[in-house]
Chains A and B, each alone.
Chain A
Amino acid sequence: MSSAREAPMNWSGGVAPLGMSWQKLMMWIFIVTDGLLFAGFLASYGFARTGARSWPNQQEVFHLWFISLMTFVLISSSATMATAVAAARVADWKKVGNMVLATVGGGVSFLAMQAYEWGGLIRDGVTLGSNPWNVPAFGNFFFLITGFHGTHVLIGAIVLATLATRVRAGKTTAAGVELAGLYWHFVDLVWVFVFTLFYLI
């Protein structure tokens, strides 16, 4: 019988075996699930791009320096968020508040820049249906993927804004800040892949 050959109870209730609270674990699993959603999009994009006879040269389509600037903003916001989490651990709530606000600022400006980029491309005639280079898949996947990433940034910004107010009111915990931080870093992580796979390659 299996249980007979088994070491005595190897952990007791209440002690998380993975060393993290269920909230944090749940957030991590959610991140994996959501990450696989983007994996699905990016794999499809790989499929479409392999199947496409030609693909627009991103050097000409995008202003890469501008995209790099967006990346810079997002990475910096990620850094400020990490600082906020670290500050929350040592209960430096004033710093937390400022850093979270800075992060929200980063997120909002990223969204603004993305809106500007979309506007520019739409003016150049890039739509879901067609685009100047006759590669519909390009427009399709561009708006789909960046759009979904943008939505995630928006949600993150809203979450962080509420978090900031709660910090001001002193109604939040280090764990809470950490959870919000995890999500925000995930958004940044996704952008790393989108930036490389869609804008550069």
Chain B
Amino acid sequence: MTETGDQAATRTSPLGVALAVTVWFIGIGVFILGARRYLPEVASEHGKGIDVMLIYLLVTTGTLIVIGHLVLGYFVFRFSRTARVSPTLPGVTAQRFWSIAPAILMTVLAEGGVLVLGIPVFGQLYTQEPPADAVVVEVTGEQFTWNVRYPGADGEFGRTDPGLITADNALGVDESDPAADDDIHDLALIYVPVNRAVKVRLRSKDVLHSFYLPHHRIKQDAVPGMTIELWFVPNREGEFEIACAELCGFGHYQMRGFLRVVSHEEFERWLAEKRS
């Protein structure tokens, strides 16, 4: 099998060609497939930033994958048909260069990308305070659905106590608390007005869940014992799906919900009818 010594004269090695072609094909194929658009159409303000990040990564890494595979394929093609090993050994400078060049490249490409495009978006989503006029909605995950609650007119959520949880009081709301009277409850359905900040108070009754809005580039674990707040601005009317992105048991795949982004008027109308 292994052709030793000089038996391997300059004759083309069909296997080498085949492998080279495969490697080229892989690199180009991955690039072509990656050039297509798979992301769900973005529907939130910060989502644009995340898409920019993703597209930046797709372009840069895609290019590097193609280049890498073209070079690898060429080396296979070229050196599978040589008669004898090149007598000159790789010099120290060459080895240094091929260590320093990738180092610089990746520093610029990866670190630059995350520092310039990534961290700002991430920071805005997680560390910035939401605007004062944000619609506040509390989403509480449980096996296997999402409980939705609005504070109502007084803008305050009624006190909850897990001890009070019953079949028809899923959140264990303390009815004696006046703030609880005008709370609006719903199940796996969130109404929000378009182009206005939505502040989500994320909680969980039992195990870890993850509040996942594919179109809004939102994903945040709901951690029992913690109330995690995040906010985003939906900028497209329509009905969007909510999914769970953290394994929460056998019903994990069933935690489907809807986010209805509607006009201001419709939102107010909906609130009014909910209150009555």
Contacts and interface: CB of A to CB of B under 8 A. Distances in A.
B89 interface: yes
A123 interface: no
A5 B89 CA distance: 13
A1 B90 CA distance: 7
Interface in A148-195: none
A5 B90 CA distance: 13
B92 interface: yes
Nearest to B95: A2
A48 to B, nearest CB: 12
Contacts of A5: 92
Interface in A36-67: none
Interface size range on A against B: under 10
A160 B92 CA distance: 55
Interface of B is mostly: loop
A1 B92 CA distance: 8
B163 to A, nearest CB: 16
B169 to A, nearest CB: 26
Interface in B75-104: 89-90, 92
Interface in A1-18: 1, 5
Interface in A100-139: none
A1 B85 CA distance: 15
A1 B91 CA distance: 7
B80 to A, nearest CB: 23
Contacts of B92: 5
A1 B95 CA distance: 10
Contacts of B90: 1
A9 B179 CA distance: 80
B78 to A, nearest CB: 21
A3 to B, nearest CB: 11
B88 to A, nearest CB: 11
B95 to A, nearest CB: 8
Contacts of A1: 89-90
Nearest to B225: A51
Interface in B52-94: 89-90, 92
A94 B92 CA distance: 61
A51 B89 CA distance: 60
A2 to B, nearest CB: 8
A43 to B, nearest CB: 19
A1 B88 CA distance: 10
Nearest to A2: B95
Nearest to B92: A5
Interface string B89-126: 11010000000000000000000000000000000000
Nearest to B89: A1
Nearest to B90: A1
Contacts of B89: 1
A5 B92 CA distance: 10
3 contacts: A1-B89, A1-B90, A5-B92
Interface of A: 1, 5
3 closest A-B pairs (Cβ-Cβ)?
Answer: A1-B89, A5-B92, A1-B90
